[in-house]
């Protein structure tokens, strides 16, 4: 089976940096994706890591350690509009689908 | 990316009835998926809609309850049959490019309330 763990809630201050962690257990592993979802909106794709290391896209970066079955999403220069839920998702090697984590609700204070 | 529309955006239905949700994509895609999401919860995959063949259902979801059609590469429907209040949820369709199943694009969702 597959399981993903991420914190349910994270609070940060505008302008700061926040890291959202995700640990996973899968039978086989292709890669880790991250999605953002604002209240009332649809999930939107942020990033994907198939190999170890850091991928940077503007203010957002995503990291993967395959040996530790661990990844994180790093958000820099936080803005109020970054308040949303963030989901990690994994694709197991034998499946044509991805499985989503339970989501982390990020709240940003002025 | 892909532009995806869903109809209806929301509906309130009586128990025992059925609702068909439509998903339209602005370009041809191989893989389409249907998810369910309770407010504040994660996304649960219902099934993969395969063009030209039967949908592939996840554990806990059956074709009699959630029949899916995929008549072409830009359109799919999900029917929620014989509804009960437990079916109240947000239903989302998504698409993925052939080489990028990890990168999915979602429709705006259909908010269903069953009374």
- The answer to whether the CB atoms of B42 and A43 lie below 8 A apart is no
Which chain A residues touch B93 with a CB distance below 8 Å? none
Q: What is the tens place of the pLDDT at every residue in B64-113?
A: 999 999 999 999 999 999 999 999 999 999 999 766 788 999 999 999 99
Mutate to test the interface with A, among B1, B25, B41, B102 (most CBs of A within 10 A): B102
- The answer to whether the CB atoms of A96 and B101 lie below 8 A apart is yes
- The answer to whether the CB atoms of A43 and B43 lie below 8 A apart is yes
Instruction: Please give the structure tokens belonging to residue B60.
Output: 């806990």
- The answer to whether the CB atoms of B48 and A102 lie below 8 A apart is no
Compute the radius of gyration of chain A from its Cα atoms: 13
Q: What is the tens place of the pLDDT at every residue in A34-67?
A: 999 999 999 999 999 999 999 998 999 999 999 9
Share of chain B above pLDDT 90, in %: 83
Beta bridge partners of B56: B48
Which chain A residues touch B2 with a CB distance below 8 Å? none
The candidate with the shortest Cα–Cα distance to A6, out of A99, A78, A82, is A99
Compute the radius of gyration of chain B from its Cα atoms: 13
Give the max Cα distance, chain B.
41
* Mean of all residue pLDDT scores within chain B: 94
């Amino acid at each position: 089976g597959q399981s993903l763990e991420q914190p349910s809630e994270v609070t940060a201050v505008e302008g700061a940096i926040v890291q959202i962690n995700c640990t996973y257990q899968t039978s086989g592993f292709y890669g880790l994706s991250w999605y953002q979802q604002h209240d009332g909106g649809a999930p939107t794709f942020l990033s994907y890591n198939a190999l170890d290391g850091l991928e940077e896209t503007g203010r957002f970066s995503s990291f993967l350690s395959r040996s530790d079955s661990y990844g994180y999403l790093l958000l820099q220069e936080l803005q109020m509009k970054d308040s949303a839920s963030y989901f990690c998702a994994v694709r197991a090697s034998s499946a044509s689908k991805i499985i989503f984590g339970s989501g982390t609700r990020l709240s940003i204070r002025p | 990316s892909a532009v995806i529309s869903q109809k209806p955006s929301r509906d309130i239905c009586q128990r025992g009835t059925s609702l068909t949700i439509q998903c339209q994509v602005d370009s041809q895609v191989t893989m389409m998926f249907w998810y369910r999401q309770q407010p504040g919860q994660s996304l649960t995959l219902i099934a993969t809609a395969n063009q030209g063949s039967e949908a592939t259902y996840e554990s806990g979801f059956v074709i009699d309850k959630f029949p899916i059609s995929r008549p072409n590469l830009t359109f799919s429907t999900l029917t929620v049959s014989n509804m009960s209040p437990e079916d109240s949820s947000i239903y989302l369709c998504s698409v993925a490019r052939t080489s990028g199943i990890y990168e999915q694009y979602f429709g705006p969702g259909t908010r269903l309330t069953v009374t």
